[in-house]
Amino acid sequence: MSDDHDELHLEMHRAIDQLGKYAIKLQLDFGVGKSKSEIKALINEVMMEVTDRCMQHGADVIGHVKSFLVAPEGNLMSSIVEHGESAAIKDGLKADSLKGAEFILHVIVHGIWDDEVREQTLEVLEEVMPRYGVSYKILDDYYEVEKGMDHHN
């Protein structure tokens, strides 16, 4: 490959390092059970709030805020790419209520760094989950892994 290509390639990929990335996997406990509509409202609030907090703390573009909730009864796939918009939720859940589920949240924004994204995300989870009476356990915190994705420096 030529030097010109190397130069462009390097420049292009340095741009990736301007993205703040964070992912977390949770086990959600809905107690005696939560209805599908309540779960969707919870997901929407978490995702909208994370988006809003990131923008308030310096992000200028949302790459994406996506989540994947999975249970034996099916899944809910959700996505936000625009600040102030509700989550688009694709319903693949066959049950009307759930007692628990795994929940993966993945945030990529432009303009702030991974540590800020993580801080805002964790704060939102701590605030919103109790309001819905949902307890949760962190199964995986991908902060170090995601941070390690910076490259081409």
Beta-strand pair 74-80/61-71: antiparallel
Nearest approach, Cβ of residue 32 and other proteins (Å): 27
> What's the rounded Cα separation, in Å, for the pair 18 and 110?
6
Residues linked to residue 102 through DSSP beta bridges, in sequence order: 27, 70
Quick one: tokens of 113? 């760094």
The 35-74 contact track toward other proteins, x by CB under 8 A, reads -------------------------xxxxx-xxx-x----
Q: Is 95 in the site for other proteins (CB under 8 A)?
A: no
Residue 75 CA: distances (Å) to CA of 28, 51, 91, 125, 142? 13, 22, 7, 20, 21
44, 75, 100, 136: which one contacts other proteins (CB under 8 A)? 75
Q: Is 92 in the site for other proteins (CB under 8 A)?
A: yes
Q: Is 142 in the site for other proteins (CB under 8 A)?
A: yes
Q: Is 138 in the site for other proteins (CB under 8 A)?
A: no
Residue 71 CA: distances (Å) to CA of 15, 66, 82, 100? 36, 17, 27, 7
Q: Is 122 in the site for other proteins (CB under 8 A)?
A: no
Q: Is 104 in the site for other proteins (CB under 8 A)?
A: yes
Q: How many residues of this chain bind other proteins (CB under 8 A)?
A: 45
Sheet strand arrangement including 88-93: 88-93, 74-80, 61-71, 97-110, 19-35, 135-141
Residues linked to residue 141 through DSSP beta bridges, in sequence order: 24
Using CB under 8 A, list all residues that contact other proteins.
1-5, 7-9, 11-13, 15-16, 18-19, 21, 23, 25, 60-64, 66-68, 70, 75, 77, 81-82, 90, 92, 104, 106, 108, 110-111, 142, 145-146, 148-149, 151-152
